[in-house]
Structure 1
Amino acid sequence: MQPRRDATPTEVCASQRQSYDVTVVPGTDAVVFVSFTARPEACQGLEGPSLADLPIVYAVDTAKWGILSVQK
């Protein structure tokens, strides 16, 4: 994802893959759970909300490749 042209430094940092750790856990019935957690050192010292407050878990249907739910 590319940040918008007038993005703040925090928005630019938040859009970079290296700012997150990703974990995938298999579920049942072709569902996997994908967790994105901000790395502790990511975007430190920048203004705005901390990325560490944003763990996000997606439930993904791998048969239809759709997102079933999002938990923050």
Structure 2
Amino acid sequence: MEDFLPLGTKPRRDAAPTEVCASQRQSYDVTAVPGADGVVFVSFSPRPDACQGLDGPPLADVPIVYAVDTDRWLILSVQK
């Protein structure tokens, strides 16, 4: 989560309400799935009820998936 949405992230001053909502960690569901060889796939996707009815661009409904090496705690790849 720290790479995806670092603590203290703030939207720009003129951000639309959906952008303000998107900058909050509670707007996302996080799913972790174990893979082979000590790799975990971590998916961040907008919660279905998050940011609904707000002005501004909608949140992308495609999840962002990280592949993380749990032996060295390194991000191997990010699929956006």
- Is TM-score (shorter-chain normalized) higher than 0.5? yes
- After superposition, the Cα gap between the structure-2 partners of 1:30 and 1:11, relative to the gap in structure 1 and judged at 3 Å, is same
What is the aligned partner in structure 2 of residue 69 from structure 1?
Answer: 77
User: Between Structure 1 and Structure 2, how many residues are aligned?
Assistant: 71
Q: In the alignment, is the contact (CA less than 8 A) between 2:27 and 2:50 conserved in 1?
A: yes
Mapped pair 1:20 → 2:28: yes
Two-structure CA RMSD over aligned residues (Å): 1.7
Which moved further from structure 2: 60-69 or 5-14?
5-14
What is the aligned partner in structure 1 of residue 13 from structure 2?
Answer: 6
Identity %: 72
Which structure 2 segments of 5+ residues have no match?
A: 1-6
Q: Distance in 2 between matches of 1:43 and 1:54?
A: 15
Matched to 2:10, the amino acid is: P
Superimposed CA distance per residue, residues 25-63 of structure 1 (whole angstroms, 9 cap, x where no aligned partner):
011111100011101121122302x22424111000111
**Which of 51, 54, 65 lines up with 1:57 in the alignment?**
65
Q: Normalising by the residue count of structure 2, what TM-score does the alignment of the two structures yield?
A: 0.74
Q: Distance in 1 between matches of 2:72 and 2:10?
A: 28
Q: Distance in 2 between matches of 1:44 and 1:29?
A: 39
